[in-house]
Amino acid sequence: MGRIRNENFYTVFGWMLNELELKGNELIIFGIIYSFSQDGKSEFTGSLTYLQTFANIKSKNTALAMLRNLIDKKFILKREFTDGSNIQRVAYRANLEYIDEIKKGISQIEPDNRCKN
């Protein structure tokens, strides 16, 4: 796996635990993606290896499952695109509108979409 630079970091807010009820690897992956996209304009376009390394996940399939779970819960959004070299890429961003609704009590997390860790 790749190496994380010493100055790289992500933040975990209390609402991620309390309102979104995230924990474990889902919390770590969400925290990383949120850190990149919290301005509402930017996206996480880093590699799956980056997420695996930060979360200490050995299996690519496990990391992909965590991303799918976060998408299914509507906490993150996925965008597929082709870069300038005609290479298929993926970008993720926090679903800020949905998260704001949850934090304000407008939307609730459906029981089937609660954290499964």
For 22-47, the pLDDT digits (tens) are 999 999 999 999 999 999 999 999 99
Alpha carbons within 13 angstroms on the beta-carbon side of residue 106 total 6
pLDDT at 1 (0 to 100)? 53
pLDDT at 75 (0 to 100)? 98
Which pair of tokens denotes residue 53?
A: 């390394």
Looking at domain 14-107, which of 1.20.1260.10, 1.10.10.10, 3.40.50.280, 3.20.20.370 is its CATH number?
Answer: 1.10.10.10
pLDDT at 107 (0 to 100)? 75
- Separation CA 84–CA 95 (nearest Å): 26
Average pLDDT for runs of 10 along the chain of length 117 = 82 94 96 97 95 94 97 97 92 97 81 51
pLDDT at 117 (0 to 100)? 46
Q: Where are the alpha helices (DSSP H) in the chain?
A: 14-18, 24-37, 48-55, 60-72, 96-104
- Separation CA 108–CA 94 (nearest Å): 17
